[in-house]
Structure 1
Amino acid sequence: MSAEQATSVSKGVFAFKGKCKRVNEDDYVCDSKDRGRKARMTLYREIWEDLHTQIEILRSDLNCQIFDDLIAFVSGCHRHRDSPGDRSAQLLGEIPAAVLVTGVNTPDHDVMFANLESMLKSQVSPLVARVGAQDNCRISALLSDIVAQLMNVTLTSEEREDDEHDAGDLLPGEKSTAVSSSPIKLKVAPVRKRALNLTTLVKWYKKKFGAGSPCKSRSAPCSPRKRLKLEETGEANAEQLKATTNGSGVDKKPLVIIVFEDVENVNPAVFQDFISLCCSYLPSLPIVLILGIATAVTAIHQILPSAITSLLCMERFQAPPASRYLSHLMDKIVMVPDVAVKLGPKVFHFLLDTFLYHDFSILNFITAFQFCMSEHFLSNPLSVLCCGGEEVDYVTSQLSQAQLEDLRKLASFKSFVESCPPNVQSKLWSDNAVTRKYLSSALTELHQHHANLFPALRFLHCLSSALPKHPLGKQFRELYSLCLTTDVCESDSYKQAVTFLRLMSLDDLSKALAAACQALEEPSQSNEHLRPLFEEVERFVYRLGHLDEEEEQEEEKDMQQDANGVPLERILPQRTKLHELKEKLQSMSSKRRKSPYEKLREEILESLQSHLRRLITCPLTLPLHEALYFNDLAAVKEQLKAAPRCSTQRALTLPGRYLNCACCHGNEHSILPSMPDICIVYKLHLECGTLVNLYDWLQAFVTIITAAGDKGGKSKKKPQKPSTELRARFIRAVSELQFLGFIKSTRRKTDHVTRLTW
């Protein structure tokens, strides 16, 4: 049927399928006239692939310990099930339950439980079911979903819609009265949703993994187990049985593991019924529960009564906090000299504040960091310089004239040129060869500065981490954030840290220097700029450990002075006045002889400060830092900071920008007949006050719509009555505005609506 024939909506809904068009990235990125865009996007993909691999390795390493503990706990559950001599665990009637405290970073839970499910299936048992919070509306739906996952049965959307009298709600021993009235008999009976309950699971489990259950009741003796024949089970079941056998070759039935992602959002009544049913089927099914908790274990006791919690044998497992993961991520990915793309101070603080004060989500932080990288490579033509130090000469030699002109527009380049002699300034502005040579040397210096900066900052962090009040911060990211904003060695926090270091005892200073020396040992082997600091710190650590030798040298020095007949200052002169005597006594009381440790401590601090001032400077003060640092906070906020109201208003005001339609392009105040109806209605209501007259609103809408068909611009004295189609379009647009929250109905006047936004 053609589009012209489908005029009545009441007669049916017709779908007009057009040609499938693939999304072309050229339509959504910057101007195609930029020839270096493809090269920059290729460089971005290479860098991000390497970073993504490191992130996945870091994530697996961080969750490795908690997953190993969980797998060890689950593997040890029901270990006495097949031994007829020890049945004390089954007689208790408790379901083994692992309570996993995941934390409040809910966006990351899906990935965590997906990895846990795959590890459980590969290492413990193939029978694993994962339940989300949205699957807990009724007990029948919950059981159907769990049994379908365990039996590998796919349910349709119609089968997932439960009725109140579903057979899934039946207790063990009850029979369903539903009888199929279909006269057609199939060779293989289809697995209907009404059959997906725990009774069906028990029958399927016995048939697949063993003929007899260990016991039919809690006190009844066990029947002897029967081995399955590989010829009957087939190759697939044979592999599954091999995977579930112990080292002695005796068959071991696989566990039935049920994972609840978020117990706190489960319907308490449904969860209580489910635990009661599982406990009644525990002699037939080796059920193990894994319960995800976002806050604390006490949430389970708030959800379940004591009669139900007594049926669970719970053990607590604490997942690593998201803040620790963030520290590892930033130490390995963000705050390292190897990654060429760096975050500027504004973007760095924004991403950090969003994580700490908003969502606590590592996935969102990684996504934001990826967006910052892609935006940097798309918007900055000089991002092609984000390469390794060994590729600087080749990349600078391939720069075009347009890229060199963009380079000369940088603020850091202009400030550098102004500090050069006049003859050099003219060459830097006009001679491309001189500009390329300077660019190569400046980028090499910037990379070398990064190689010196991060180890020196870690050295300073190790020294100051044990100080009281933590003047330079507890985390390394706080010190790095300070370095991005100001000169660390001139800040008040640094001066306060030096003051505390001057008060440290011998043991504390020795430990701090030894820990800082270990942090500096590996980078100093490949960096000659760090080697003098490392060697000097090693000598200071040795001298602090052999302080007795320092005291002996001091005593010998004093004895030599006495033996040489050096005249000593007289405390009391022979003839003096009273005020002169008072001044003499005050000056001599202020001069106190320092101990060898105090002198050595002063020497250590002076030496360290000279090295740190040389190595630690703000990288944003160096030339050409704009090529490596992304600091466009406005672009990041526009894409990442959720502002649905502003985005909706912008879309209704400028529809051509979002629809990519030439006929809808216009400024914020223009109203075109080709615009969508809701945009026209929205712009018209902006011209009204608090109350909007519906009749006047409709007439204005009709006037704009019919203006395109009015040839010659002839106006009529009496406006015609709007057609049914125009009134329907207007009502639909007004309803959409009310749904979006721009207007609401009012009782003050029947033919008016109230405007809600300004």
Structure 2
Amino acid sequence: MTATSSVSKGCFVFKSASKKRRKLHKDVDGLLLCGSDDNGRDRFRIYQKLLEKVQLHTEAIQDQLNKKVLDNLVQFIKKYELCYSSDVWRQGASEIPTAALMLGVNVPDHTMTFRSLCSLLQDSVTPFVVSVPAKECTAVKILIQKVVGQLMGRGLSLDEDQEDDTAPHQKTQCSISDLCQWYKTVKKSNMKNEGLHWSLPIVVIFKDFEAFNLQALQDFILICSQYVQELPLIFIFGIATSSSTIQQRLSHSVSSLLCIEVFHSLSCTQHLAAVFDKLILNSQFPFKLSSKVIQVLVGIFLYHDFSVQSFVKGLQLSMSEHFNNQPLSVLCCQKKEAMLCAKMLSQQNVDRIRHLPSFMRYVEAQEPQEQVLLLTSDEHVKEVCQILLKNLHKYHKNYYPILQCLHSLTSLLPKCPLGKQIRELHVSCNEKKVWETEEYDLAMQLLRILAKDELVAALRECAGILKSARSKKIQNVLRQVEDFIVRMEELECPSTEDLPEDDVIFSGNDYKRRTDLFQLQKTLQEKESGRSKKITPFEMLRNEVVQFLDDLVREYLTPAELQPLHEVYYYSSSGVLRQRLNAAPRTSIQAALSHPFYYLQNQALKTRAGTVSSAAPDLCIIYKLHLECGRLINLYDWFEAFVTVSSAAEDKDENSDECGKLDSLKNARFIQAVSEMEFLGFVKSTKQKTDHVARLTWGGC
């Protein structure tokens, strides 16, 4: 432990006087259901079902994305397994095969990758797989014990006599030589039983290579290199930064003992895009996020940890908040189930539907007679609710395929005016009418100058997207797109001779004469100022395609906020989510120290603004007094002020012995409170003045 300059050390807890928060329903996943809601259990059931779906899809996406790199690692280990089975090769072996697995800086996601890797290796290659974390291996002795201990617990089955022989080694677990003896025993037994040349490798996985104690890691590699002809060792380094880290951290004498091969996993942005396609841009997943919530989650991903697992946890938290705080989330389910729930809505939920802003806008747009029915008849509201829910499901079925088509056409344009990632385009379409933005106009202008091969390739990609859609309207769009592709392929690209005279900029000997920028600009200006050029058949067809795309965008990519009852499916409390995920500990601590009443629920601590209660904890008094000081705080003046405030409610004789004992006690309390302030980071010792401390924060709650 490192020494500190604090006056005293300690940890103190103030327990809340109120225990009302503990008397909530104890549901498995922490969803707090209000007892007054008649659909609370139905909401919790739907929430659990969606939560399981998120978990299954997340794991499937992780396995699918990691499949290639994990398969390559398996082949790498199998290659050296064959080499280790050759006695000739092992006699001349001097290096340990090492795989450098480049996983990226999204460290929270690495755990799932290593879990999948261990399972795959144990199922298909060898049962001798050890995974060691850096935080548990601070010294080489501990590292060896971890490796040897795990391996001896995962050996193949032995006879009873042999198990007794290995028992002492399982108890000691202290050296690589014990591991060698144990491995020879296991090998001899299996060769005798199976009659084969048996030589399974021992795989040691270092999860977080950069975090390992350098000396412990180097010593471990040096020790293992002495047994490379007896133990078929293979190392896997989990690296978050770059492959050069191995050479930078390990000395040349140690790194020369490793035969390193680098493996790259997919980037975290590709992983996030797959999660978006499966969980957010999917009409089969009923729960939706508003554009502001998506921006909060993506912002945390891009500017904090690049962790897809953290993004998924944010999605799960959004689901929990939505199903907990929105009683109408009972309708946030698949179409058939939503129709049944709409028929059985209670009167209370019908009134809630009437108060939804989107439903109120819908009512205002109806005829007067229809408005009266919607405001007075509960049964009519239920019938209309079913129709609106059907329309909302149709909206999502049509929205996502058209969104993907627009993205495939615009993502390859120069500077990507509508965004390089589909999530950026999705946010733009949900925030406002995208066709009214300058970026959209620029994208349409760039689409009108696309070459034939680029446009045909983009249309074919759109056709592939639309084929997987189930909507009848989208199938009609698919037929029109396929017709455009056929018509374009039938067109022949015009040659220079077929162009009008005004369209020819360079020809023959004029090419060399007009190579400078000024002449080129002059020629283009003359061309533009001349007669209107004749539009070619390809240009006419290209304009028709762009106009067709523009019509699709205006029809299907309307913002979700314009859809009635969108509040049922969309979670939009971005402020709450930001507060939950972007923790601000300093703000919370300052609020607790400034207003202890709201945390301790003690009426004696309730005071007016700007005053200090003598009944408050010492730390709160010290904190409020330090707010009145400047950059440097005189400890004696601070102590005098503390004594004055804490003694306000006391009436003691200054000359009495009891008063002297109280002064000593207050002195100790003051030192303790100052030490706590130093621990929390509000003050620190300073060399400028020995009897002063420096203030580190400014402002308060």
Map of 2:514 onto structure 1: none
Equivalence map 1:25-64=2 (5 Å): 25-26=24-25, 29=32, 31-64=34-67
1:586/1:731 CA distance change after superposition, 3 Å: closer
Q: Is the 8 A contact 1:455 1:519 kept in 2?
A: yes
Name the stretch that deviates more: 740-749 or 100-109.
740-749
The amino acid that maps onto 2:585 is P
Q: Is the 8 A contact 1:210 1:253 kept in 2?
A: no
| 5+ long unaligned stretches in structure 1 | 1-20, 154-186, 212-225, 231-241, 243-248, 552-584, 707-714
The answer on 1:308 being equivalent to 2:259 is no
Shift of 1:314: 1.3
The answer on 1:521 being equivalent to 2:467 is yes
Let me know the Cα RMSD of the aligned residues. 3.5
The answer on 1:126 being equivalent to 2:96 is no
Q: Is the 8 A contact 1:464 1:497 kept in 2?
A: yes
Question: How far apart, CA to CA, are the structure 2 residues paired with 1:688 and 1:467?
Answer: 58
Q: What per-residue deviation string (whole Å, max 9, x for no partner) do you get for residues 19-62 of structure 1? A: xx997653883654344333322221111111211111111111
The answer on 1:701 being equivalent to 2:642 is no
Question: How far apart, CA to CA, are the structure 1 residues paired with 2:148 and 2:268?
Answer: 33
The amino acid that maps onto 2:590 is Q
The amino acid that maps onto 2:71 is D
Q: 1:625 aligns with which of 554, 560, 566?
A: 566
Map of 2:287 onto structure 1: 341
Q: What per-residue deviation string (whole Å, max 9, x for no partner) do you get for residues 189-245 of structure 1? A: 86698761111111222223228xxxxxxxxxxxxxx944x6xxxxxxxxxxx6xxx
Q: What per-residue deviation string (whole Å, max 9, x for no partner) do you get for residues 525-569 of structure 1? A: x31121221111111111112226999xxxxxxxxxxxxxxxxxx
The amino acid that maps onto 2:555 is R
Q: How many aligned residue pairs are there?
A: 628
The amino acid that maps onto 2:70 is F
Question: How far apart, CA to CA, are the structure 1 residues paired with 2:472 and 2:167?
Answer: 77
- What fraction of aligned residue pairs are identical, expressed as a percent? 34
Q: 1:546 aligns with which of 465, 468, 490?
A: 490
The structure having more radius of gyration, on CA atoms, is 1
Question: How far apart, CA to CA, are the structure 1 residues paired with 2:607 and 2:320?
Answer: 29
Shift of 1:76: 1.8
Shift of 1:493: 2.1
The answer on 1:739 being equivalent to 2:684 is no
Q: Normalising to structure 1: TM-score of the pair?
A: 0.75
| 5+ long unaligned stretches in structure 2 | 1-19, 155-164, 496-525
Map of 1:165 onto structure 2: none
1:47/1:194 CA distance change after superposition, 3 Å: closer
Shift of 1:702: 4.8
1:22/1:605 CA distance change after superposition, 3 Å: closer
Q: Is the 8 A contact 1:137 1:270 kept in 2?
A: yes
Q: 1:196 aligns with which of 159, 171, 174?
A: 174
Q: Is the 8 A contact 2:128 2:202 kept in 1?
A: yes
Q: Is the 8 A contact 2:614 2:645 kept in 1?
A: no
Map of 2:364 onto structure 1: 418
Map of 1:709 onto structure 2: none
Q: Is the 8 A contact 1:663 1:675 kept in 2?
A: no
Shift of 1:250: 0.8
Question: How far apart, CA to CA, are the structure 2 residues paired with 1:470 and 1:515?
Answer: 18
Q: Is the 8 A contact 1:694 1:753 kept in 2?
A: no
The answer on 1:501 being equivalent to 2:502 is no
The amino acid that maps onto 1:411 is P
Q: What per-residue deviation string (whole Å, max 9, x for no partner) do you get for residues 79-132 of structure 1? A: 243444xx1454141111111111111111122212212222222222222122
Map of 2:501 onto structure 1: none
The amino acid that maps onto 1:740 is L
Q: Secondary structure at the match of 1:493?
A: helix
The answer on 1:536 being equivalent to 2:480 is yes
Question: How far apart, CA to CA, are the structure 2 residues paired with 1:750 and 1:282?
Answer: 60
Map of 2:545 onto structure 1: 604
Question: How far apart, CA to CA, are the structure 2 residues paired with 1:498 and 1:275?
Answer: 60
1:594/1:293 CA distance change after superposition, 3 Å: same
The amino acid that maps onto 2:281 is M
Q: Secondary structure at the match of 1:26?
A: coil
Name the stretch that deviates more: 102-111 or 463-472.
463-472
Map of 1:394 onto structure 2: 340
Map of 2:555 onto structure 1: 614
Map of 1:142 onto structure 2: 143
Map of 1:164 onto structure 2: none
Question: How far apart, CA to CA, are the structure 2 residues paired with 1:605 and 1:498?
Answer: 7
Shift of 1:259: 0.9
Map of 1:438 onto structure 2: 384
Question: How far apart, CA to CA, are the structure 1 residues paired with 2:266 and 2:385?
Answer: 45
Question: How far apart, CA to CA, are the structure 2 residues paired with 1:61 and 1:385?
Answer: 32
1:609/1:275 CA distance change after superposition, 3 Å: same
Equivalence map 1:322-471=2 (5 Å): 322-471=268-417
Shift of 1:686: 4.7
Q: 2:82 aligns with which of 68, 79, 82?
A: 79
Name the stretch that deviates more: 468-477 or 673-682.
673-682
Question: How far apart, CA to CA, are the structure 2 residues paired with 1:544 and 1:128?
Answer: 57
The amino acid that maps onto 1:42 is R
1:195/1:611 CA distance change after superposition, 3 Å: closer
Q: Is the 8 A contact 2:90 2:229 kept in 1?
A: no
Q: What per-residue deviation string (whole Å, max 9, x for no partner) do you get for residues 285-333 of structure 1? A: 1111111111221111112233322221111111111111101010111
The amino acid that maps onto 1:261 is K
The answer on 1:510 being equivalent to 2:456 is yes
Q: 2:185 aligns with which of 184, 207, 232?
A: 207
Q: Quick one: higher RCO (CA 8 Å, sep 6+), 1 or 2?
A: 2
Q: Is the 8 A contact 2:149 2:170 kept in 1?
A: no
Q: What per-residue deviation string (whole Å, max 9, x for no partner) do you get for residues 567-613 of structure 1? A: xxxxxxxxxxxxxxxxxx99995233322222222223223322332
